[in-house]
């Protein structure tokens, strides 16, 4: 007996779309999410509250920010009902034409094909131009003007309600049918969890309306296996993530959407393939994983004359060249925990390892180093530099036994490809230094890049890319997993190329496209 017509694994920008659109088509739907469900006042006041901010369930940390360190990449990703929308920086941008030139899209025309779905996603996510331009934005514009590209400066599209600050109003997006909203207070706390109801997270749009249509959301639950039954249905095995007993359960469904993001979907499909539950999954699983060719760096002011923490997380960007997009970012007042992942900026040398260059810089500039490790007021003194490129590069994610796990299996990265993911992007260092000069501060870089030659990204993509057959990809151009009936993928893992901008809107649009291909439920 069927429990559901469709079970969706994950509640982010893909899973939330699937939940609403399937419910609208008449299907009985459940969403299984390993993270917790949060209300606005559940979020921590600062990210120094590690237990409420970080997602490390093995030690009782049940927050919204997950961190995963692999051999070639350090990944920041979301957890909770609403997925990455809880922790992302509100930016909802359409990529440039260059992002769609990669042949892994399977041919031209994808930007035009997705255009109506971008519009649909914008409506649902409440896209608007940022209503604030910060001092850091103005300095970024000056950097662009100095380099002769000042005309590329732009205010970003964001998913934020800019009403009267702190004032609650009836739903301004869906003719009063959605939840009440509160005007943004410009506190800068977007990436720690919006405590005011101004950020357009998925629980306030897609998931909100999905539940109104009867969708069941099952939080704090992890899917551990997906296995076909004899009768063209699937058995979903789950276990509780929180609590002491970690209770297990099973559901029966006729269809499944894998929407757990790269770190959830690729890992689960690897596990199902290796244990023999879904043996026909393409050997391309885990291939063409991308970091959005990204660098996350920063600048720390020497003084406290200007509070760089005020505003929303990201407000503007520039294009120093046709392949590169640069944004300034911020955390709110007192939210400086992520500074623990930063250190002094050094370039890459052909012969001298970067840790040696780093040590020499400390010897030559001890006061700069001491300033860099002082966490007091760090968010107020800092602006972060987010650099993303459309330049093609990728790695592979596999799942196998590891000696350091005493024979246990885990997912890891392999950068042995013809287009290696960079851990050093020269133009990122250039513009970080330009901005540091404007602020009169010290440039900083990610610790993982300096010491481990490991890329850092908040926008991991790929691993289940679309293709015309299973020799080239994992899913077809309708989102269906090759070799299986009614198994789909809709999340960041289907994005086949570096977008060069924040990917949330594209993931939503691609998911809307996939869901549009599914027919309405036939009434008996």
pLDDT tens digits, one per residue of 93-104:
999 999 999 999
Q: What is the CA radius of gyration of the chain?
A: 22
**What is the spatial distance between Cα 511 and Cα 85, in angstroms, rounded to a whole number?**
15
First to last CA, the chain: 16
Q: What is the β-pairing status of strands 216-218 and 29-32?
A: parallel
For residues 136 and 328, the answer to whether their CB atoms sit within 8 Å is: yes
Output DSSP code: residue 71.
S
For residues 266 and 489, the answer to whether their CB atoms sit within 8 Å is: no
For residues 71 and 414, the answer to whether their CB atoms sit within 8 Å is: yes
Query: What pLDDT score was predicted for residue 498?
Result: 96
Asked whether the whole model's pTM tops 0.85, one would answer yes
pLDDT 10s digit of each residue in the chain, 524 long? 899 999 999 999 999 999 999 999 999 999 999 999 999 999 999 999 999 999 999 999 999 999 999 999 999 999 999 999 999 999 999 999 999 999 999 988 999 999 999 999 999 999 999 999 999 999 999 999 999 999 999 999 999 999 999 999 999 999 999 999 999 999 999 999 999 999 999 999 999 999 999 999 999 999 999 999 988 899 999 999 998 778 999 999 999 999 999 999 999 999 999 999 999 999 999 999 999 999 999 999 987 788 999 999 999 999 999 999 999 999 999 999 999 999 999 999 989 999 999 999 999 999 888 888 888 899 999 999 999 999 999 999 999 888 777 778 889 999 888 889 999 999 999 999 999 999 989 999 999 999 999 999 999 999 999 999 999 999 999 999 999 999 999 999 999 999 999 999 999 999 999 999 999 998 65
**What is the spatial distance between Cα 430 and Cα 426, in angstroms, rounded to a whole number?**
6
For residues 8 and 15, the answer to whether their CB atoms sit within 8 Å is: yes
Q: C-alpha distances in angstroms, 30 versus 3, 196, 254, 256?
A: 9, 28, 12, 10
Distance of CA 228 to the CA centre of its chain: 30
The mean predicted confidence, pLDDT, of the chain is 95
**What is the spatial distance between Cα 253 and Cα 2, in angstroms, rounded to a whole number?**
5
- Kindly report, residue by residue over 215-264, the tens digit of the pLDDT: 999 999 999 999 999 888 999 999 999 987 789 999 999 999 999 999 99
Q: Which residues are catalytic?
A: 459
Which fold would CATH assign to domain 4-516? FAD/NAD(P)-binding domain (3.50.50)
Overall size of the chain counted in residues: 524
* Domain boundaries of the chain, sorted by first residue: 4-516
For residues 29 and 6, the answer to whether their CB atoms sit within 8 Å is: yes
Other Cβ atoms closer than 10 A to 360: 12
**What is the spatial distance between Cα 237 and Cα 224, in angstroms, rounded to a whole number?**
6
């Amino acid at each position: 007996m069927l429990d559901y017509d469709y079970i969706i694994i994950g509640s982010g920008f893909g899973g939330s779309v699937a939940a609403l659109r399937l419910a609208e088509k008449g299907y009985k739907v459940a969403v299984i999410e390993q993270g917790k469900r949060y209300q606005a006042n559940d979020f921590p006041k600062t990210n120094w509250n590690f237990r409420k901010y970080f997602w490390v369930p093995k030690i009782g940390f049940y927050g919204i920010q997950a961190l995963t360190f692999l051999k070639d990449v350090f990944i920041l990703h979301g957890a909770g009902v609403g997925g990455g929308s809880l922790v992302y920086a509100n930016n909802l941008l359409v990529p440039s034409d260059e992002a769609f030139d990669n042949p892994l899209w399977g041919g031209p025309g994808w930007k035009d094909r997705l255009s109506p779905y971008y519009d649909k996603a914008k409506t649902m996510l409440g896209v608007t131009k940022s209503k604030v331009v910060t001092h850091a934005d103005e300095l970024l514009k000056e950097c662009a003007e100095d380099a002769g590209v000042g005309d590329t400066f732009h205010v970003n599209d964001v998913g934020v309600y800019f009403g009267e600050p702190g004032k609650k109003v009836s739903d301004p997006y869906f003719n009063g049918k959605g939840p009440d909203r509160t005007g943004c207070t410009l506190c800068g706390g977007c990436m720690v969890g919006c405590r005011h109801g101004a950020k357009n997270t998925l629980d306030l749009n897609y998931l909100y309306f999905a539940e109104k249509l009867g969708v069941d959301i099952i939080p704090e639950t992890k899917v551990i296996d997906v296995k076909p039954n004899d009768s063209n249905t699937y058995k979903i095995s789950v276990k509780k993530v929180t609590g002491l007993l970690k209770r297990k359960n099973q559901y029966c469904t006729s269809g499944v959407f894998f929407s757990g993001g790269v770190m959830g979907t690729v890992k689960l499909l690897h596990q199902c393939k290796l244990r023999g539950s879904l043996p026909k999954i393409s050997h391309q699983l885990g291939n063409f994983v991308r970091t959005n060719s990204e660098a996350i760096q920063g600048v720390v002011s020497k003084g406290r004359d200007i509070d760089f923490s005020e505003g929303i997380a990201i407000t503007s960007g520039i294009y120093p060249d046709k392949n590169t997009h640069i944004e300034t970012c911020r955390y709110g007042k007192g939210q400086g925990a992520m500074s623990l992942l930063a250190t002094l900026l050094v370039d890459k040398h052909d012969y001298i390892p970067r840790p040696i260059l780093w040590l020499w810089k400390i010897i030559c500039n001890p006061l700069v180093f001491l300033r860099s490790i002082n966490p007091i007021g760090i968010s107020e003194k800092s602006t972060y530099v987010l650099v993303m490129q459309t330049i093609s590069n990728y790695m592979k994610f596999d799942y196998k036994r590891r000696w350091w796990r005493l024979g246990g299996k885990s997912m890891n990265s392999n950068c042995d490809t013809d287009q290696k993911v960079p851990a050093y992007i020269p133009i990122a260092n250039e513009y970080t230094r330009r901005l540091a000069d404007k602020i009169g501060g010290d440039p900083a870089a990610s610790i993982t890049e300096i010491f481990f030659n490991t890329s850092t990204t908040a926008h991991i993509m790929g691993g289940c890319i679309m293709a015309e057959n299973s020799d080239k990809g994992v899913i077809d151009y309708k989102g269906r997993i090759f070799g299986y009936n009614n198994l789909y993928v809709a999340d960041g893992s289907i994005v086949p190329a570096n977008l060069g901008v924040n990917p949330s809107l594209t993931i939503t649009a691609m998911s809307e496209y996939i869901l549009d291909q599914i027919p309405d439920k036939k009434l008996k």
